Structure 1
Amino acid sequence: MSDSLPGLDLDAFASWFGPHRPDAGPDWSAELIAGGKSNLTYRVGDGRDTWIVRRPPLGHVQATAHDMAREFTVMSALAGTAVPVPGTIALCEDESVLGARFYVMELVEGTPFRDAEQLSTLGEETTARLADSMIDVLAALHAVDPDEVGLADFGRPQGFLTRQVRRWGMQMAGSRTRDLPDADRLLAHLSDHVPDDGGTPAIVHGDYRLDNLLVVPSDADPVKAVVDWEMSTLGDPLTDLALLLVYDRVAALVPGLGVSDASGAPGYPTSEELLTRYAAARGLDVGALSGAMEFHLGLAHYKLAAILEGIHHRFVAGQTVGGGFDHIGDAVEPLLAAGLRAATGRD
């Protein structure tokens, strides 16, 4: 099959997928969906139907990252809740098929908005409504009882934040290609200021942001699916909220980076407005919530810096697929510096 792509051998995929779809057609094709800088996502069709295939990136895959079984499990569990997710079809744990674990899910029609220019065509009112819906879906996720959807053993909430600091410290250490002194300073500060475990643990997405949502802006409920669940677990829900706020800052920190600048669109709410809406949706005191965010914002900056350093590592090793990776590494040091300011109350 001539449409095979790096990381996706169509002959091997079609042979494996056949038992799951015995009525599949003979005209297989595939395309790499643009925009992914971590896991690889493909649109695969048989001439009649179309599905989405997700697999880890090529090369430099750390043991705790890019967990396809985790994505498949959490999306399957959330089907039927207030959190919109794609329908899951099949998980392949036999790495001999495509060289890594992968899974197949239903195609959901919707747009992952990344750019202020995209949003500006919608108008301020629609942009504001879309951002509000994004927060409402996050609050709905954090309100799901893990026990009720079969995810009681999906993570270990006790000691979650301590493990998060340790995990992302290890991720950074395993990906570093250069001297990053602020990484050491921020990691030391976070290690010394981990909050006590408190509150009811929630299902945490781990990478929640606007361009991980498939949306139809004209609909009353515009968010049609939350995707990219590879870092989901049970833990402190404020880690999701903090990371979302940090994602909104990256384009301003490093202009021209090529990451999402959606928060710059007219009508997009401020960080304070997003935090206030989340507090209202969860029934939390907004003042107390704001005061709890210093550590979480510092951790979110560090986590995103570690993710981007990992992508930069693959880029310099020639192991990325597609374009747009040239300057990803430029964001790492500004993120670490901003994280130090946030964690120490200077931001």
Structure 2
Amino acid sequence: MSTSENHLPGLDLTGLREHIDHERPGLVRDVLRGELIEGGRSNLTYAVTDGTSRWVVRRPPLGHVLATAHDMAREHRVINALRDTPVPVPEAVLLCEDDDVIGAPFYVMEFVDGTPYRTAEELAAIGPERTRGVVLGLVDTLVALHSVDPAAVGLSDFGRPEGFLERQLRRWGKQLAASSSRELPGIDELQERLGKALPVSGPAAVVHGDYKLDNVLVGPDDQVKSILDWEMSTLGDPLTDLGLLVMYSEQKGDGSPVTTSGGAPGHPSPAELITRYTERSGRNTSAVAWYTAFAYFKLAVIAEGIHYRYTLGQTVGTGFDRIGALVPALIDRGLSTLQEG
């Protein structure tokens, strides 16, 4: 870890310590040291320690301009609301919406020690039997999340379930229009067909918005210890989470930054995941093909946005040069999924 108090990019550790001492006297016992946790592509995540205890700090990316896309209060609110439910979340320590403390709003939560499995190769290392258990546990944890009564945990106003799917499709369409600089055959057809076949949503639930294996921490017992990255959470149609999980289960890793774990030996098939979710949640999943195709559309838009920023020289990192080539395949899979459904 960095031994500097002041020179961690995006996090003023001295200001952080002073704020924690004011809000939670006695919590921090010594000089804070920290490091940036790699892997995220949106909000910045840091691990900090006083040599005895460890915490995690989340803040918006450097130079962020869209406050609603990086709402620290929203993330803090949802994990705090879920703390006494069966849903595994870190304990929320404090929220600070004052930009002057570290340069941006932030929140602090407990550090949860666990493994974020991101690729088929990482799962292959634990073997087929454990891989199967981990992924089925991921489904069970999603069922637990969607079983929470939003009103009972103070989240009845956390989103607007009415018209949720229509708004989501419109939002991602606008995102595409704002970040595309080339012809993408089939993308307009995919969006149009999704719009014409909007399913009727069932009972609303707390939706994570980006639920996948590398957004959870798995413990040594192969159980999900914590769900992370709640920045897209809202109140809406829970099958959008299921569709995303199914989509990632269909993917095969190719070394790109949007690869998934679906190709690992022992990984349950998409059909198995759907059946387990259906049986344990009691929800009607007959329209899951639409939700999966919508997930492909969203990922195509996200990947195109990354490609667009890469072409402008605004994205730094390895693998981003290959993202653009993935977009046509995502569009094709979205269209074929709708056809099959």
**What TM-score results when the alignment is normalised by the length of structure 2?**
0.90
SS of 2:100's equivalent in the other structure is: coil
Indicate how the Cα distance of structure 1 residues 4 and 336 shifts in structure 2: closer, same or farther if over 3 A, else same: farther
Deviation at residue 4 of structure 1 after TM alignment = 2.8
CA–CA separation in structure 1 for the residues paired with 2:11 and 2:256: 28
Deviation at residue 171 of structure 1 after TM alignment = 2.1
SS of 1:118's equivalent in the other structure is: helix
CA–CA separation in structure 2 for the residues paired with 1:294 and 1:335: 14
1:305 match: 300
- Contact 1:89 1:104 (C-alpha < 8 Å) held by counterparts: yes
Structural mapping, 1:160-309, within 5 Å: 160-196=164-200, 198-218=201-221, 222-252=223-253, 255-284=254-283, 289=285, 291-309=286-304
CA–CA separation in structure 1 for the residues paired with 2:70 and 2:252: 25
CA–CA separation in structure 1 for the residues paired with 2:47 and 2:215: 16
Residue range with higher mean Cα deviation, 326-335 or 128-137:
326-335
SS of 1:234's equivalent in the other structure is: strand
CA–CA separation in structure 1 for the residues paired with 2:68 and 2:177: 13
Return the letter of the residue paired with 1:182.
Answer: G
Return the letter of the residue paired with 1:125.
Answer: E
Structural mapping, 1:30-179, within 5 Å: 30-59=34-63, 61-179=65-183
Summarize deviations over 1:82-117 as a string: whole Å, max 9, x none: 110000011121233344322111001111111222
- Contact 1:112 1:212 (C-alpha < 8 Å) held by counterparts: yes
Give percent identity, aligned residues only: 53
CA–CA separation in structure 2 for the residues paired with 1:43 and 1:205: 22
Return the letter of the residue paired with 1:245.
Answer: V
The reply to whether residue 11 of structure 1 matches residue 14 of structure 2 is yes
CA–CA separation in structure 1 for the residues paired with 2:232 and 2:156: 16
CA–CA separation in structure 1 for the residues paired with 2:326 and 2:42: 16
Summarize deviations over 1:173-216 as a string: whole Å, max 9, x none: 233343334332222222222223x4211111110001111111
SS of 2:108's equivalent in the other structure is: strand
Return the letter of the residue paired with 2:213.
Answer: L
Deviation at residue 147 of structure 1 after TM alignment = 0.8
Unaligned runs of 5+ in 1: none
SS of 2:203's equivalent in the other structure is: coil
Work out the number of aligned pairs and report it.
Answer: 337
Indicate how the Cα distance of structure 1 residues 50 and 177 shifts in structure 2: closer, same or farther if over 3 A, else same: farther
Deviation at residue 154 of structure 1 after TM alignment = 0.6
- Contact 1:312 1:325 (C-alpha < 8 Å) held by counterparts: yes
- Contact 2:250 2:270 (C-alpha < 8 Å) held by counterparts: no
- Contact 1:71 1:230 (C-alpha < 8 Å) held by counterparts: yes
Indicate how the Cα distance of structure 1 residues 98 and 326 shifts in structure 2: closer, same or farther if over 3 A, else same: farther
CA–CA separation in structure 1 for the residues paired with 2:304 and 2:103: 24
SS of 1:96's equivalent in the other structure is: helix
Indicate how the Cα distance of structure 1 residues 170 and 50 shifts in structure 2: closer, same or farther if over 3 A, else same: same
CA–CA separation in structure 2 for the residues paired with 1:15 and 1:319: 34
Indicate how the Cα distance of structure 1 residues 70 and 324 shifts in structure 2: closer, same or farther if over 3 A, else same: farther
Unaligned runs of 5+ in 2: none
Return the letter of the residue paired with 2:336.
Answer: R
- Contact 2:243 2:289 (C-alpha < 8 Å) held by counterparts: no
Indicate how the Cα distance of structure 1 residues 329 and 38 shifts in structure 2: closer, same or farther if over 3 A, else same: farther
CA–CA separation in structure 2 for the residues paired with 1:316 and 1:39: 22
SS of 1:264's equivalent in the other structure is: coil
**What TM-score results when the alignment is normalised by the length of structure 1?**
0.89
Bigger relative CO (Cα 8 Å, ≥ 6 apart): 1
Cα RMSD (Å): 2.3
- Contact 1:251 1:257 (C-alpha < 8 Å) held by counterparts: no
Deviation at residue 63 of structure 1 after TM alignment = 5.0
Residue range with higher mean Cα deviation, 12-21 or 35-44:
12-21
Return the letter of the residue paired with 1:69.
Answer: A
